Chain A
Amino acid sequence: MMYFSRLKTYSILGACLIGLLLCIPNVMKAPASWLPWRTVHLGLDLQGGSYLLLEVDMKAVVKERLESLMDGVRQALRPGAIFYQTLEARTEQNQVFVRLRDASKTAAAVAALKPLISTDNASGTPDMQMVSGDDGTITLTLSPVALHARASGAVLQSIEIVRRRIDETGVVDPQIAQQGEGRIVVQLPGVGDPDRIKRLIGKTAHMTFRLVDESANPAGNGPPPPGVDFLQDQDRPGQRIAVRKRIDVDGADLTDARAGTDPTTGEWVVNFTFNSVGSRRFADISTANVNHRFAIVLDDKVISAPVIRSPITGGRGQISGSFNAATANDLSTLLRAGALPAPLTVIEERSVGPELGADSIKAGAISLAVGFLLVIAFMGFFYGLFGWFANLALLVNLILMLAIMSLMEATLSLPGMAGILLTLGMAVDANILINERIREEQKLGRPPLAALEHGFNRAFRTIADSNATAFLAHVALFAFGSGPVKGFAVTITLGIATSLFTSWMLTRLLVARWYVARKPKLLPV
């Protein structure tokens, strides 16, 4: 027990030294770029920043899928002159329902709709089920598997687009990740007020170019005629514009969008460029509709509805509206990043200004320093020399914790700092158990070396058992906790592990070396 081979001694001291080296990156800059320079990151609560939890609106994903399916049904039935009485989406059941006017055409309709069913996925199963009745009804039900695949695709795509939008704002080091099924976590270090980011994320930014239906009257109370939507005019609240449902060019066909000023009027505008598909379609539409109005629609609101003066064939265009520099920039950012597949809602927000973060660091550091001193003083008074051995081990424990956290590039939160302090308080508990045992063994009349042997040996089981339970409790906290609380659980579990090393190996080594050097007749415990 108390004998340490040279190899063992050097390994223990080596581990301590490596720990010390690993801490260095936290206090200085890397002298050379090739060095692995890993540091502990400050949590958002300490450096200031925002944490946003976003939820992808899965209902919208389903709804959109059903709408496009309805569109598909409409187009599939038209060539065969199969007319229907009802065509509706039943969102709750994930299905599209058709009732034909003429029940005898059911077979023909089924045949016409068959190509809509796709088996083009990993499992090779059809993405929907078609059931037809004798009374001329047909239901198309989307399969849960296909919907699920679509939903997860929507989340991944959303993450990509959120990332692009945030990158445009110049936030340094944003972290964007999926959480669970349909959620996205966004962490923005240094952003104390995430207002602008939330505005950018909160827009679907689905832009479409559609023709204005000049025959319909949007001022009336009646429902819009088939194939037409009455949409709000963004610049004139309360005013509605009749816009055809048919999308002529989609915002997805944009390759670039930049804010700028119009050279003649000096107004802020957004200039955009289409890709080849978009250019061609835009050229066709504008050629065929000279002197008619078309609408630029963003998220079901008309941004502007200019009259086409001449065919636009260059694939370039300009959106004017009542923009200022900020809104023009935001819109161009959104258009460049692309549309979200579904709306996102912020369901949790936590933002901390840098001022409060700095205060928290100070509070944490003071507590840590005072707590450390109190524990050290207690151990020194309570056990004398053996207490100081424990204190040295405690210091090494602190270094090792910091080293491993640096290596993991872990995030240090305020609760994490509390966790470190508590770990320090608990780490010396092992030494208390050991020292008490040694004291007991000596009282029983064992000579010093035997008392040390027995003391360390017998205390180990108690230490292992008591630490194991604390470890388990914090593993549960890590599994179910979130945010800063997770950081707390990490520091404590880590601290328990390192304290086993320092109290069990390092103090034993220190005591052994001291014993060999002094050969005391009585242990001062």
Chain B
Amino acid sequence: MFIKPMFRLAPDTTRFNFMRGRFLGLIVSAVLSTASVVLFFYPGLNLGIDFSGGIVMQVRTDGAADFTKIRTALTDAHIQVQGVQRFGDASEVLIRLSTQANEQATQQAVTQVRDALAKSVAGARIMRTDAVGASVSAELFRNGLLALGVSLLMILAYIWFRFEWQFAVGAVATLILDVTKAIGFLAVTRIEFDLVMVAAILTVLGYSTNDKVVVYDRVRENLRKYKTMPLRELIDLSINETLNRTLGTSMTVFLASLPLAIFGGQSISGFATIMLFGIVVGTSSSIFIAAPILLFLGEHRLRRDTVAPVAKDATAAEP
């Protein structure tokens, strides 16, 4: 264990013919992503308070929470509640209120809930209060989308700059497919979509790109090494050669995210779940999506046209 490697994720000399399944891969991916887009519109995402606005209060009671009592207390105080639900532990309750008419009303509602609980539910402690006004939530949503869009553009530009346009387009197209699937996953699981989710999706994006770069880098290298090998064979070879890297790097991030999903508590477990999903999707898309797209885009162009420019590239020159 301390000196020699104990195991390999894949044998060193695999000869999988990945490109034979390229149509299947692309079709499955396209279907899943289309379904995700449909799910995005109907039933839509379960928007968290960051993006929908409103009020969320997390309450902890002594012992198991008495939901009827809490509901009655709130109804008696004439508070329009969107939901009272269990949050993790049996003693934890999440009270949600939808967006109020204006900011003053929002603040009033917070006070009302607080007072109603203090009066009628003995031992209830408010652990967390989030109140987001309508103007702020719209802004947070816009900024979230901007962050997503800007990072996609930057990744596109970077890969274009470092590789060839076919690589950049292939990577970004795959990333968009990945992101739509993550969104579909969110819609199906009803995990709340909030700011932290945008962070998770961006991390998946960055991570997934990592994976693609590893494969693309090998393709770039092999393009110079095997000047006459057909592109299809060359891509297959590259994927096989980097299989242990792709699986290994995914494994470490997966292992790092796993405890977050299990022990991280309610607020972070959704984040970690998306990470885990994204890692699986990102890893498979590096092999089954990004590479086939590169094959389609580069079939007749990449071979001859790019060998020269890549070789000229100073950073690519061998020492």
CB distance from A350 to the nearest CB of B (A): 5
Choose the segment among A95-103, A162-170, A320-328, A423-431 that binds chain B (4+ C-beta atoms closer than 8 Å).
A423-431
Chain A neighbourhood of B133, CB < 8 A? 347-348
Contact of B213 among A193, A382, A425, A462 (CB under 8 A): A462
Residue of A nearest to B144 (CB): A480
B249 at interface (Cβ–Cβ under 8 A)? yes
Contact of B264 among A364, A473, A489, A492 (CB under 8 A): A364
Q: Would you call A356 and B256 a contact (CB within 8 A)?
A: no
A261 at interface (Cβ–Cβ under 8 A)? no
CA distance A482 to B131 in the complex (A): 15
Q: Would you call A484 and B252 a contact (CB within 8 A)?
A: no
CA distance A235 to B148 in the complex (A): 54
Q: Would you call A195 and B114 a contact (CB within 8 A)?
A: yes
CB distance from A397 to the nearest CB of B (A): 13
The prevalent SS among residues of B at the interface is helix
Known: A351-B128, A476-B150. A378 touches B199 (CB 8 A): no
Q: Would you call A482 and B195 a contact (CB within 8 A)?
A: yes
A366 at interface (Cβ–Cβ under 8 A)? yes
CA distance A282 to B148 in the complex (A): 61
Which of B5, B244, B257, B271 has the most chain A CB within a 10 Å cutoff?
B5
Chain B neighbourhood of A221, CB < 8 A? none
The prevalent SS among residues of A at the interface is helix
Q: Would you call A481 and B252 a contact (CB within 8 A)?
A: no
Known: A356-B128, A360-B265, A422-B253. A470 touches B209 (CB 8 A): yes
CA distance A378 to B6 in the complex (A): 10
Q: Would you call A415 and B202 a contact (CB within 8 A)?
A: no
CB distance from B61 to the nearest CB of A (A): 12
A370 at interface (Cβ–Cβ under 8 A)? yes
Q: Would you call B260 and A472 a contact (CB within 8 A)?
A: no
Q: Would you call B249 and A432 a contact (CB within 8 A)?
A: yes
Chain B neighbourhood of A378, CB < 8 A? 251-252, 255
CB distance from A13 to the nearest CB of B (A): 23
Q: Would you call B252 and A428 a contact (CB within 8 A)?
A: yes
B1-51, CB < 8 A from A: 1-9, 12
Chain B neighbourhood of A381, CB < 8 A? 1, 5-7
B151 at interface (Cβ–Cβ under 8 A)? yes
B297 at interface (Cβ–Cβ under 8 A)? no
B143 at interface (Cβ–Cβ under 8 A)? yes
Known: A375-B256, A381-B6. A484 touches B196 (CB 8 A): yes
Contact mask B222-257 → A, CB, 8 Å, 1/0?
000000000000000000011011001101111111
CB distance from A473 to the nearest CB of B (A): 4
Residue of B nearest to A372 (CB): B256
Choose the segment among A23-31, A138-146, A383-391, A402-410 that binds chain B (4+ C-beta atoms closer than 8 Å).
A383-391
Residue of B nearest to A421 (CB): B256
Chain B neighbourhood of A414, CB < 8 A? 264-265, 267-268
A42 at interface (Cβ–Cβ under 8 A)? no
B69 at interface (Cβ–Cβ under 8 A)? no
B275 at interface (Cβ–Cβ under 8 A)? yes
Chain A neighbourhood of B129, CB < 8 A? 349-351
Residue of A nearest to B255 (CB): A374
B310 at interface (Cβ–Cβ under 8 A)? no
CA distance A429 to B252 in the complex (A): 7
A256 at interface (Cβ–Cβ under 8 A)? no
Chain B neighbourhood of A461, CB < 8 A? 217, 315-316
B111 at interface (Cβ–Cβ under 8 A)? yes
CA distance A375 to B258 in the complex (A): 11
CA distance A198 to B251 in the complex (A): 47
CB distance from A2 to the nearest CB of B (A): 13
A433 at interface (Cβ–Cβ under 8 A)? yes
Contact of B263 among A351, A366, A472 (CB under 8 A): A366
Q: Would you call A480 and B150 a contact (CB within 8 A)?
A: yes
Known: A422-B275, A477-B151. A360 touches B267 (CB 8 A): yes
Chain B neighbourhood of A443, CB < 8 A? 12
CA distance A355 to B62 in the complex (A): 13
Q: Would you call A492 and B2 a contact (CB within 8 A)?
A: no
Chain A neighbourhood of B256, CB < 8 A? 371, 374-375, 421-422, 424-426
Chain B neighbourhood of A484, CB < 8 A? 195-196
Chain A neighbourhood of B245, CB < 8 A? 432-433, 436
A202 at interface (Cβ–Cβ under 8 A)? yes
CB distance from A447 to the nearest CB of B (A): 17
B193 at interface (Cβ–Cβ under 8 A)? no
**A-side interface residues, number (CB < 8 Å):** 83
CB distance from B131 to the nearest CB of A (A): 4
B190-228, CB < 8 A from A: 195-196, 198-199, 202-203, 205-207, 209-211, 213-214, 217
Contact mask A483-516 → B, CB, 8 Å, 1/0?
1110011001000000000000000000000000
A345 at interface (Cβ–Cβ under 8 A)? yes
Q: Would you call B136 and A53 a contact (CB within 8 A)?
A: yes
Chain B neighbourhood of A371, CB < 8 A? 255-260
CA distance A350 to B259 in the complex (A): 26
Contact mask B150-182 → A, CB, 8 Å, 1/0?
110011001100100000000000000000000
Contact of B249 among A433, A483, A524 (CB under 8 A): A433
Contact mask A464-480 → B, CB, 8 Å, 1/0?
01111111111111011
Contact of B130 among A349, A380, A387 (CB under 8 A): A349
Chain A neighbourhood of B205, CB < 8 A? 473
Q: Would you call B260 and A421 a contact (CB within 8 A)?
A: yes
CA distance A21 to B173 in the complex (A): 46
Q: Would you call A524 and B4 a contact (CB within 8 A)?
A: yes
CB distance from B279 to the nearest CB of A (A): 9
Q: Would you call B126 and A353 a contact (CB within 8 A)?
A: yes
A82 at interface (Cβ–Cβ under 8 A)? no
B272 at interface (Cβ–Cβ under 8 A)? yes
Contact mask A268-300 → B, CB, 8 Å, 1/0?
000000000000000000000000000000000
Which of B4, B114, B132, B203 has the most chain A CB within a 10 Å cutoff?
B203
CB distance from B109 to the nearest CB of A (A): 11
CA distance A473 to B209 in the complex (A): 10
Q: Would you call B5 and A524 a contact (CB within 8 A)?
A: yes
Chain A neighbourhood of B140, CB < 8 A? 482
Contact of B202 among A379, A436, A473 (CB under 8 A): A473
Contact mask A33-77 → B, CB, 8 Å, 1/0?
000000000000000000001010000000000000000000000
Contact of A355 among B12, B127, B146, B158 (CB under 8 A): B127
Q: Would you call B213 and A465 a contact (CB within 8 A)?
A: yes
- 9 closest A-B pairs by beta carbon, nearest first, are A425-B256, A470-B206, A473-B206, A480-B147, A370-B259, A476-B151, A363-B265, A356-B127, A469-B209
Q: A360-B265, A370-B262, A436-B245 are in contact. List 13 more A-B contacts (CB 8 A).
A: A193-B114, A346-B107, A352-B127, A353-B125, A367-B264, A371-B259, A414-B267, A418-B264, A426-B210, A474-B151, A476-B154, A480-B144, A482-B143
Which residue numbers of A lie inside 8 Å of B, CB to CB?
53, 55, 192-193, 195, 198, 202, 345-353, 355-356, 359-360, 363-364, 366-368, 370-371, 374-375, 378-385, 387-388, 414-415, 418, 421-422, 424-426, 428-429, 432-433, 436, 439-440, 443, 457, 461-462, 465-477, 479-485, 488-489, 492, 524-525
A/B interface sample: 5 pairs, CB < 8 A: A53-B136, A356-B127, A385-B2, A424-B256, A433-B245
